[in-house]
Chain A
Amino acid sequence: QKEVEQNSGPLSVPEGAIASLNCTYSDRGSQSFFWYRQYSGKSPELIMSIYSNGDKEDGRFTAQLNKASQYVSLLIRDSQPSDSATYLCAVNKAAGNKLTFGGGTRVLVKP
């Protein structure tokens, strides 16, 4: 079992729709959770961080964390073509400072 798992996609959504991305992790003691966006040929950029159960909203993005079920999700509302990218889920394990990344989900927003 991979430590952090994501569906590789591509996840195709029409412009204006909601894109829903999921991520599961194996270490129950994980404390911090992050979503990064990576455009082709570029380095990842931080979109959201979430540390406690529940929802966290920032603009068109909402992160949801459920530690009991060991999943974290990202919703992108009113999806735009510029949102087309690979979204990486990252988890900070309880021990140490290293982030573990999922394989990423490629999102395609079609006009």
Chain B
Amino acid sequence: GAVVSQHPSRVICKSGTSVKIECRSLDFQATTMFWYRQFPKKSLMLMATSNEGSKATYEQGVEKDKFLINHASLTLSTLTVTSAHPEDSSFYICSARGWRRAGTGELFFGEGSRLTVL
């Protein structure tokens, strides 16, 4: 099946620093990628939709200046958490849609990145 790779898997940073997370589709081109956030024992919360070559679409309540998304190529999207604070500590997961047949694309997830802000 389709493979989505995410890096880094774990990152610990000091409050006030910025952290970049990469998401790559390894065996298919992804014009659209999705960034999710998950708190412990909670479900996935969609943060934004990353569109190749254009601006990301953010969900209500998600600060676009806080969570910068860049989708520069068909296989790479990045999420940068700017000026991170302890409340930004979470599990961030990217996903991309792999199309096995038109209109029914299945979503494949990266391995996730656990961010801890001290």
Contacts and interface: CB of A to CB of B under 8 A. Distances in A.
30 contacts: A31-B103, A32-B104, A34-B106, A34-B107, A36-B109, A41-B91, A41-B114, A43-B6, A43-B93, A43-B111, A43-B112, A44-B44, A45-B109, A46-B1, A46-B106, A46-B108, A49-B106, A51-B104, A88-B44, A90-B107, A97-B32, A97-B49, A98-B34, A98-B46, A99-B34, A99-B107, A101-B43, A101-B44, A103-B42, A104-B43
Interface of A: 31-32, 34, 36, 41-46, 49, 51, 88, 90, 97-99, 101-104
Contacts of B49: 97-98
B105 interface: yes
A103 B44 CA distance: 8
A52 to B, nearest CB: 10
Nearest to A97: B32
Nearest to B6: A43
Which range holds the interface residue count of chain B? 20 to 34
Given A97-B32, A99-B107, A42 B43 contact: no
B97 interface: yes
A52 B46 CA distance: 26
Contacts of A32: 104
A101 B42 CA distance: 11
Interface in B82-118: 91, 93, 97, 103-112, 114
